[in-house]
Structure 1
Amino acid sequence: MRKTLSRLSLFVVVFTFLTGLVGGQISQAQEPEFERGTVTSGETFVAEASGSALVHGVSETGLYIVRLSEPALASYRGGVSGLAPTSPEVTGKAKLDTSSPDVLAYISYLTQKQAEFVSTVEQSLGRQMEVVYNYVGVLNGLAIRASYEEANEIATLPGVAAVYGDTLRELNTDVGPIHIGAPAIWNGDTGSGFATRGEGIVIGIIDSGINFFHPSFYAMDGGGYIHTNPYGDGVFKGWCATHAGYCNNKLIAAYNFFTPGQPPVDTDGHGSHTASTAGGNAHTASFSIGTTDYNIPIQGVAPRANIVAYKVCDPGCPGSASIASVNSAILDDQVDVLNYSISGSDFPWTDPVEL
Structure 2
Amino acid sequence: MNKRYWIFLFLIFGIQISFGVVAQSEPENITAVSPSTIHSTATTTYIIQFADPPLATWMQTQAGGGLNFQSNTAVSYQNTLAVQQQTALQQMIRTLDRPLTPRFRYTMAYNGMALQLTGTEAAELSGLSGVTAVYREQQYELTTDAGPNWIDADDIWDGSGTPNNSSSKGEGIIIGVIDTGINTDHPSFADVGGDGYNHTNPLGSGTYKGLCVSTPSLCNDKLIGQWDYVDGYWESGGAEDNEGHGSHTAGTAAGNVIQATITAPTGYTYQKNISGVAPHANLIAYDACFSSCLGSALLAAIDQAVTDGVDVINYSISGSSDPYNDPISQAFLAANEAGIFVAVAAGNDGPAANTLSHISPWVTAVAATTHNRTFTNALTNLTSDTSPLANITGQSITSGYKLAPIVYAGDYGDALCFNDFVPGTWQGEIVICDRGQNSRVQKGVHVLSGGAGAMILANSA
Deviations 1:119-167 (A, max 9, x none): 1111111112111111111211111111111111110111111111111
Q: Is the 8 A contact 2:47 2:137 kept in 1?
A: yes
Deviations 1:243-271 (A, max 9, x none): 24221110011011012692111011100
Match of 1:13 among 11, 19, 24: 11
Q: Which amino acid aligns with 1:62?
A: T
Percentage of pairs with the same residue: 38
Give the 3-state SS of the residue equivalent to 1:130 in structure 2: coil
Cα gap change, 1:180 to 1:352, in 2 (>3 Å): farther
Say if 2:276 is the partner of 1:300: yes
Structure 1, unpaired ranges of 5+ = 1-5, 26-40, 77-85
Q: Is the 8 A contact 1:73 1:138 kept in 2?
A: yes
The answer to which structure, 1 or 2, has the higher relative contact order (CA under 8 A, 6+ apart) is 1
Structure 1 residue 11 displacement after superposition? 2.5
Structure 1 residue 194 displacement after superposition? 3.7
In the other structure, the counterpart of 1:154 is 125
Cα gap change, 1:118 to 1:132, in 2 (>3 Å): same
Structure 1 residue 103 displacement after superposition? 1.1
Match of 1:226 among 198, 201, 205: 198
In the other structure, the counterpart of 1:211 is 183
TM-score (norm 1): 0.80
In the other structure, the counterpart of 1:324 is 300
Give the 3-state SS of the residue equivalent to 2:270 in structure 1: strand
Say if 2:45 is the partner of 1:74: no
Q: Is the 8 A contact 2:32 2:136 kept in 1?
A: no
Give the 3-state SS of the residue equivalent to 1:278 in structure 2: helix
Aligned residues: 314
In the other structure, the counterpart of 1:263 is 238
Alpha-carbon distance in 1 for matches of 2:43, 2:298? 13
Alpha-carbon distance in 2 for matches of 1:306, 1:23? 28
Q: Considering only aligned residues, what root-mean-square deviation do their CA atoms show, in Å?
A: 3.0
Match of 2:155 among 184, 194, 198: 184
Cα gap change, 1:125 to 1:59, in 2 (>3 Å): closer
Say if 2:316 is the partner of 1:341: yes
Q: Which amino acid aligns with 1:209?
A: G
Q: Which amino acid aligns with 1:262?
A: G
Alpha-carbon distance in 2 for matches of 1:13, 1:63? 33
In the other structure, the counterpart of 1:38 is none
Q: Which amino acid aligns with 1:293?
A: T
Q: Is the 8 A contact 2:253 2:277 kept in 1?
A: yes
Q: Which amino acid aligns with 1:185?
A: I
Alpha-carbon distance in 2 for matches of 1:204, 1:58? 38
Q: Is the 8 A contact 1:202 1:306 kept in 2?
A: yes
Cα gap change, 1:42 to 1:108, in 2 (>3 Å): closer
Alpha-carbon distance in 2 for matches of 1:16, 1:91? 32
Q: Is the 8 A contact 1:249 1:306 kept in 2?
A: yes
Alpha-carbon distance in 2 for matches of 1:11, 1:58? 48
Q: Is the 8 A contact 2:182 2:247 kept in 1?
A: yes
Structure 2, unpaired ranges of 5+ = 23-27, 331-461
Match of 1:100 among 55, 59, 71: 71
Q: How does 1:33-182 map to 2 (within 5 A)?
A: 46-48=33-35, 62-76=44-58, 86-87=59-60, 91-93=64-66, 96-173=67-144, 176-182=147-153
Cα gap change, 1:168 to 1:271, in 2 (>3 Å): same
Cα gap change, 1:324 to 1:14, in 2 (>3 Å): farther
Q: Rg: which structure is higher?
A: 2
In the other structure, the counterpart of 2:385 is none
Q: Which amino acid aligns with 1:48?
A: P
Cα gap change, 1:179 to 1:343, in 2 (>3 Å): farther
Cα gap change, 1:262 to 1:216, in 2 (>3 Å): same
In the other structure, the counterpart of 1:199 is 171
Structure 1 residue 13 displacement after superposition? 0.5
Q: Which amino acid aligns with 2:310?
A: V
Cα gap change, 1:100 to 1:126, in 2 (>3 Å): same
Q: Which amino acid aligns with 2:35?
A: E
TM-score (norm 2): 0.63
Runs of 4+ deviating beyond 6 Å: 57-61
Deviations 1:153-183 (A, max 9, x none): 1101111111111111111107733444322
In the other structure, the counterpart of 2:395 is none
In the other structure, the counterpart of 1:31 is none
Cα gap change, 1:272 to 1:91, in 2 (>3 Å): farther
Structure 1 residue 292 displacement after superposition? 2.3
Cα gap change, 1:111 to 1:246, in 2 (>3 Å): same
Q: Which amino acid aligns with 2:11?
A: V
Q: Is the 8 A contact 2:137 2:294 kept in 1?
A: yes
Give the 3-state SS of the residue equivalent to 1:173 in structure 2: coil
Give the 3-state SS of the residue equivalent to 1:12 in structure 2: helix
